[in-house]
């Protein structure tokens, strides 16, 4: 006679890089229902906006997440700049794109390694992280930091990249494209990988849209949703087409991230070709008074930074809606009816960042 039991999954689990917690209602090794618990590592970052002046708060915004830190910082700056009607130099916009795409490659390679580890492919894990070192080295060489860059500021960026270094970066990415292709071939075509991913964690196009999925999760379900198409920073001056997959499963979400590595390479190379000379920042004076929703495309999907100024040096409000909190309802839908053994792969397929999620 079948009987339902509740199995806790996380916050500590050998497969999880993040402390996500789920209560899984199980019957005959099938997940009937998944109940998420949020708040395990709540940090209260939004309270700090009342204690730090708006130019300093960018450092706190960057620390919302260590993987997509630059995009958090630059999106916060976009919001404050919009409130204060600050137009940043064109060169700064291109530099923000370049560092954002390096951050995307860094994040995707980290995830691909963890995903391979979750499936038991240790050599594939090491290969993805070996390639990630090249990206981190370039971030360190141009910003001074491998993880927290600290280069975004209200009014532009803090550092410039000279022409010779930009050309070397573009050449280096073209040189590593072949190694990316070899790794991608395993993720996309290896029969063992496909046996673990194809048909697992199904999320239909309709469910992805109605449940508010973002990033590779919704693009893996056939929806061409990408905030970069709105043209913030310098994206409106670059050729860009979102990567979309139609199979709606874990394989599709993996394929989106793999192919986005090559999209990022192309975007960086084009940005290097088109970046204009000129200043990298403008002097910002005054105090923000007003409110604005700034949006950007993080590696995990759309992030929203809401900023509200009250005419003082300290913002009245800063609220962040991160991709992970948006992708949890779709993840719960994916888990319904799956095998218990597939839970780790499905959870990892949304690339959960609980530090982002709980702020």
| 198 belongs to an annotated ligand binding site | no
Q: How far apart are CA 168 and CA 63, in angstroms?
A: 29
- Supply 266's token pair: 């192309």
Average pLDDT over residues 12-36: 84
Q: Cα dist. 356→94, 100, 177 in Å?
A: 25, 17, 30
pTM > 0.85: yes or no? yes
Q: What is the structure's pLDDT at 279?
A: 96
Radius of gyration for the chain, computed over Cα atoms and rounded to the nearest angstrom: 20
End-to-end CA distance of the chain: 44
Measured distance CA(61)–CA(45) in Å, rounded:
8
Instruction: Confirm whether residue 357 is marked as ligand binding.
Output: no
pLDDT given for residue 359 in this prediction: 64
Average pLDDT for residues 316-340, to the nearest whole number?
92
- State the pLDDT confidence band at 353, using cuts at 50, 70 and 90: confident
- Cα distance between residue 198 and residue 216, in whole Å: 16
Selection from 61, 35, 62 nearest residue 46 by Cα: 61
Residue 65, annotated as binding a ligand: yes
Residue 162: band (very low, low, confident or very high) from pLDDT cuts 50, 70, 90: very high
- Residue pair 202/220 in contact by the 8 Å Cβ criterion: no
Query: In this model, does residue 44 exceed pLDDT 80?
Result: no
pLDDT score for 41: 67
**Does pLDDT of 1 surpass 60?**
no
Q: Give the C-alpha separation, 204 to 35, whole Å.
A: 20
Q: What is the mean pLDDT of residues 1-28?
A: 80
pLDDT for 3 equals 82
Answer yes or no: is pLDDT of 196 > 60: yes
Domains annotated for the chain, with CATH where assigned, are 44-338 (1.10.645.10)
Average pLDDT for 333-338: 92
46 is an annotated ligand-binding site residue: yes
The annotation status of 338 as a binding-site residue, yes or no, is no
Query: Could you report the per-residue pLDDT of 253-294, keeping only the tens digit for each?
Result: 999 999 999 999 999 999 999 999 999 999 998 899 999 999
Q: How many residues does the chain have?
A: 359
């Amino acid at each position: 006679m079948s009987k339902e039991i509740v199995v806790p999954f996380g916050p500590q689990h050998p497969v999880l890089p993040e402390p996500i917690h789920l209560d899984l209602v199980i019957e005959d090794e099938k997940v009937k229902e998944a109940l998420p618990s949020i708040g395990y590592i709540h940090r209260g970052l939004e309270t700090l906006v009342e204690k730090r002046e708006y130019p300093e708060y960018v450092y706190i915004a960057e620390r919302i997440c260590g993987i997509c830190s630059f995009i958090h910082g630059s999106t916060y700056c976009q919001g404050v700049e919009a409130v204060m009607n600050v137009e940043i130099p064109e060169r700064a916009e291109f530099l923000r794109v370049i560092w954002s795409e390096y951050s995307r490659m860094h994040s995707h390679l980290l995830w691909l390694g963890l995903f391979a580890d979750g499936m038991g492919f240790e050599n594939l894990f090491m290969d993805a992280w070996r390639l990630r070192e090249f990206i981190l080295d370039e971030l360190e060489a141009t910003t001074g930091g491998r993880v927290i860059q600290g280069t975004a500021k209200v009014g532009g960026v803090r550092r410039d990249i000279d022409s010779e270094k930009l050309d070397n970066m573009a050449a280096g990415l073209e040189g590593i494209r072949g190694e990316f292709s070899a790794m991608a071939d395993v993720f996309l075509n290896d029969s063992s990988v496909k046996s673990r991913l194809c048909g697992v964690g199904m999320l239909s196009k309709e469910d992805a849209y109605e449940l508010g999925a973002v990033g590779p999760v919704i693009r893996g379900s056939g929806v061409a949703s990408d905030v970069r198409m709105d043209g913030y920073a310098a994206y409106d001056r670059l050729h860009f087409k979102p990567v979309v997959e139609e199979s709606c499963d874990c394989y599709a979400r993996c394929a989106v991230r793999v192919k986005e590595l090559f999209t990022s390479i192309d975007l960086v190379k084009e940005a290097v070709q088109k970046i204009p000379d000129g200043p990298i920042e403008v002097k910002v004076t005054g105090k923000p008074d007003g409110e604005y929703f700034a949006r950007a495309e993080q590696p995990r999907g759309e992030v929203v930074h809401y900023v509200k100024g009250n005419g003082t040096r300290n913002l009245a409000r800063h609220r962040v809606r991160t991709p992970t909190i948006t992708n949890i309802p779709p993840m719960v839908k994916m888990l319904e009816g799956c095998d218990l053994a597939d839970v780790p792969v499905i959870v990892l397929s949304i690339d959960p960042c609980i530090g982002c999620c709980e702020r």
